[in-house]
Amino acid sequence: MEPIVRLENVTKNYRGVPAVKNVTFDLRKGEIHALLGENGAGKSTLTKIIAGVVEATSGRMFHNGREIAYASPHAALEAGIAMVFQETSLVPSMTVAQNLYLGTEKFLNRLRGTYISAQQFLQSLNFPVDPNAMVATLGAAKRQMVEIARAVHHNAEIIIFDEPTATLTPEEKRHFFALIRRLKAGGVSIVFISHALEEALAIADRITILRDGELVITDDTAAFDRDRIVAAMVGRTLSGQIYRQRDEAKLRKAGKKVLSVQDISMSNVVRNNSFSIFEGQITGVFGLIGSGRTETFKIVSGIYKRDFLRGGTIELDDRPVRYLVPSEAVADGIVYVTEDRKSEGIFETMGIAENLFGGLLAAGREKAWVINQQEMRQLSAEWTRTLNIKAINDNARVVELSGGNQQKVVIGKGLVQKPRIVIFDEPTRGVDVGAIAEIHQIINRLADEGLAVVVISSYLPEIMNLSDRILVCRQGRIVEEFSPAEATEEKIMYAAVH
Amino acid sequence: MNAIGRPSFRSLNQEGIVFAIAVALFAAAAIGLPGFLTADNIVAIVRSVSVLGILALGMAVVIIGRGIDLSAVAIMAMSVAWYLQLLNTGTPDGLAFAYVLVGVLAIGLLNGFLVAYADVPAIFVTLATGSFVFGYVRSQLITQDAVPVPQGHWVELLGGLRFLDIPVEVFVFAGLAFLFFLFLRYTKWGRYIYFAGDNPVAARNIGIPVRPMLVLRYVLSAFVALIAGLLTAASLHSINTRVVNSTLLYDIVLVAVIGGIGLSGGRGGVRNVLVGAALIGILLNAMTIIDIPLLYQNLIKAAILLGAIIVDGIINPRDEQTAQQGDI
């Protein structure tokens, strides 16, 4: 069968670092094509090239047999390629109906007519979303539905879904898969990126697996089973090293209780959340997007403020605390390592040394008023060695480093503050496989040194492998605790989605 | 290792380019314009940019912290006008100066408070406070546009002060530039400005007191404006409040931006102000000697400012993720 889209030897470099290397990919008319791979395998980048969001560094793309390169998502949409993004691309201050028709409004536009047709359209998709509701007020799953509805509404012949099911409940997932099958029956070609292997096996016609930006294999779904996919995704050598199952004897025992959180609430994002954190072990926190896990720990580290009334209590060493700004938390030895290093982690105009030194200055341990350049260089040399930060030269700015090295700088910035409690939020997001192992080593070392370590992650193998105890967050609160020895991915996921 | 405070490689390029242009312009003017390369004229150039440069130092600190202070000129002119008016109506010098100092610091605090704690974009806050200061002082506190310096007052004596035939404002500019250099490069608070300007969220997260530092910057800028105003009054023996509605404010931004201080924050330093001031000083002086009408001078300056902002936008892009709506 003639493929509707074909990529030939496509490569995409970000700042010289390849995210996709020499990949050849084709999508047939009316098929469901699953794209699998670990975090950072290049799935999103590959699909963004198809949808015109990013431009390939090299390689060729054919659409319906013609060689093309879409310069913008809009151009791709005009040509019939729609993408449903992982990060939602809706306008929060507009209603669902307005978002649905965004960019396709008629010049004169009757609100009532828009709402009625939006209502009918959403009903035809079986999505229980009120077209009058503002997008900002919707939960993650409903936003996802609006995104999907928008793509379908554009009558696209190709729809790309980037992790569409991550935030959906099992019931919503069933509706979603039924919809996908309906679209397929209507001749629409579908690419969908997923972390959930069972979903891919159940619904896809063909599966493509990427690893470290390279194509591993493309084959009919019938030729795969779970083991073969996992083997292809992680590669044989690495699976043993990074993601081995923990056995009970090797789990660290809980030390002194340092942090006790009771019933903290923040509007409707965090609700009556209670848990404790202990020294000398790694507490893994798993939760889907929108579960309030990040917000909970941002409250703990003083970045967000909990509700003033009925906000609950936080006790550090049995002493109640209520931080107004993060600097108070830092002074108490609580450090939060952000999940979004680009917008809230690194100082991009500066070099490694200054970024690290910033942590020391901010911690207030640097009593002197006058900056000692030599001290800064020593600090930088020491931490660059400890964390194995690799840069082309000493003057390299942080933005010129790879994702993994940037992440190490962000971690180092926190560690120079000599914390007692370190909270890592998605410590390996967008980090290459080699650096993941090193970052995990760093995290393990901190726990061995007796610090209280929290690792927030939405990647199950990471949680399973690092944690000495696992907390699962759902709808703004910790709902279950597991020991890694007894936990399985299924059990954790079950607790997280229900 | 990238020394603290040194502009990054790319903005160093911009600084270098501007410096080269300034040197080229200087050489061209020296050859082509009679009377340009005389000791008197060189002193005149340095003197003419001194007040501008001092104001640009204050502006630079604010811009590095990812803000802007459009009230600087109003504070400069109106504070000194009020001071002189108080003196002329017989208020004791010490008391008058204390009033003015408190007023200036209050406006700086107000600017800083509104930007830092009320989260109003700096461009609107300072535009409003600038207009307010001008309107209030002009209508309530002083009686005419220009207020003269009283006979024999220290401000007048200051204006006559010479050392090696060089007027005093040049030394004040040099001294302030050096102090700002030390502050920005070697003190903790100075470094905080760079961190907060580069990435305010990250700065807050690692425990830098972002908001108090923001207030400090606007207070500093207001205080510097007061010094610039006193020097202006010293050299002209009066202060004309019409300067508030002149292009001086844009000249200040021009000096800072053309020197390579990125409007996106975190970039640049005192050296960039010096380079920018040198270029603008030479340019203005040369245009005056050639006798280009003032209207055309403004047109040329406007074109240069526009060009500098566009180049700044290209060289120091502020990407979507760090961009905030409404700020400059």
Pick among A342, A349, A365, A374 to test the B interface (most B CBs inside 10 A): A349
Task: Give domain status of residue A276, yes or no.
Answer: yes
- pLDDT block averages, 10 residues each, chain B of length 328: 42 67 82 78 82 91 90 91 86 87 93 88 90 89 82 75 79 91 87 88 87 91 92 85 83 84 80 87 82 83 78 62 36
Mark whether A445 and A492 lie in a shared domain.
Answer: yes
- Tell me which chain A residue has its CA closest to the CA of residue B268: A349
Mark whether A7 and A85 lie in a shared domain.
Answer: yes
Which helix (H) or strand (E) covers residue B146, if one does?
strand B146-148
Chain A residues with beta carbon closer than 8 angstroms to that of B192:
361-362
Chain A residues with beta carbon closer than 8 angstroms to that of B203:
347, 358, 362
Q: How far is CA A390 from CA A122, A319, A352, A384, A405, in A?
A: 51, 41, 10, 8, 6
Residue A126, Cβ neighbours under 10 Å: how many?
14
| B5 close contact with A: CB closer than 8 A | no
Structural domain harbouring A459: 248-497
Residues 167-206 of B with CB under 8 A from A: 185-188, 190-192, 194-195, 198-199, 201-206
Mark whether A208 and A335 lie in a shared domain.
Answer: no
What is the number of alpha carbons within 13 Å of residue A407 lying toward its C-beta? 24
**Phi and psi of B293, rounded to 5°?**
-60, 150
pLDDT in tens, A389-444: 877 676 777 877 777 888 888 998 888 888 899 999 888 877 776 788 888 889 99
pLDDT in tens, A462-497: 888 888 899 988 878 888 888 888 877 767 777 776
Chain A residues with beta carbon closer than 8 angstroms to that of B185:
371
Mark whether A361 and A216 lie in a shared domain.
Answer: no
Q: How far apart are CA A442 and CA A453, in angstroms?
A: 11
Domain final residue pick, A234, A269, A286: A234
CA distance A368 to chain B (A): 8
Residue A12, Cβ neighbours under 10 Å: how many?
22
Domain final residue pick, A188, A210, A234: A234
Task: Give domain status of residue A241, yes or no.
Answer: no
- CB nearest A349 (choices: B186, B198, B211): B198
- Tell me which chain A residue has its CA closest to the CA of residue B319: A343
- CB nearest A330 (choices: B1, B206, B266): B206
For the packed helices A433-448 and A403-415, what is the interaxial angle rounded to 10 degrees? 20
Q: How far is CA A226 from CA A39, A105, A197, A221, A237, in A?
A: 18, 45, 7, 11, 18
Give the list of residues 6+ apart from residue B68 with CB closer than 8 angstroms, or none. Answer: B59, B62, B122, B123, B126, B253, B263, B328
Q: How far apart are CA A424 and CA A272, in angstroms?
A: 22
If we measure between CA atoms, which residue out of A101, A5, A15 comes closest to residue A59? A5
Residues 211-240 of B with CB under 8 A from A: 211
Mark whether A214 and A358 lie in a shared domain.
Answer: no
Residue A38 has what pLDDT? 67
What is the number of alpha carbons within 13 Å of residue A41 lying toward its C-beta? 20
If we measure between CA atoms, which residue out of A493, A487, A479 comes closest to residue A166? A493
| B130 close contact with A: CB closer than 8 A | no
Q: Model pTM?
A: 0.72
Q: Do A413 and B199 touch (CB under 8 A)?
A: no
> What is the distance of C-alpha B250 from the center of its chain?
10
Residue B221 has what pLDDT? 93
Domain final residue pick, A234, A267, A292: A234
Mark whether A204 and A266 lie in a shared domain.
Answer: no
- CB nearest A326 (choices: B1, B9, B205): B205
Q: How far is CA A395 from CA A56, A352, B2, in A?
A: 29, 8, 5
Residue A38's CATH number: 3.40.50.300
Mark whether A110 and A257 lie in a shared domain.
Answer: no
Please state the domain count of chain A: 2
Task: Give domain status of residue A454, yes or no.
Answer: yes
Q: How far apart are CA A11 and CA A57, in angstroms?
A: 6
**Phi and psi of A496, rounded to 5°?**
-80, -35
Mark whether A184 and A206 lie in a shared domain.
Answer: yes
Mark whether A151 and A284 lie in a shared domain.
Answer: no
pLDDT in tens, A114-166: 888 888 888 887 777 888 888 877 766 677 778 878 888 877 888 888 877 76
ipTM > 0.90?
no
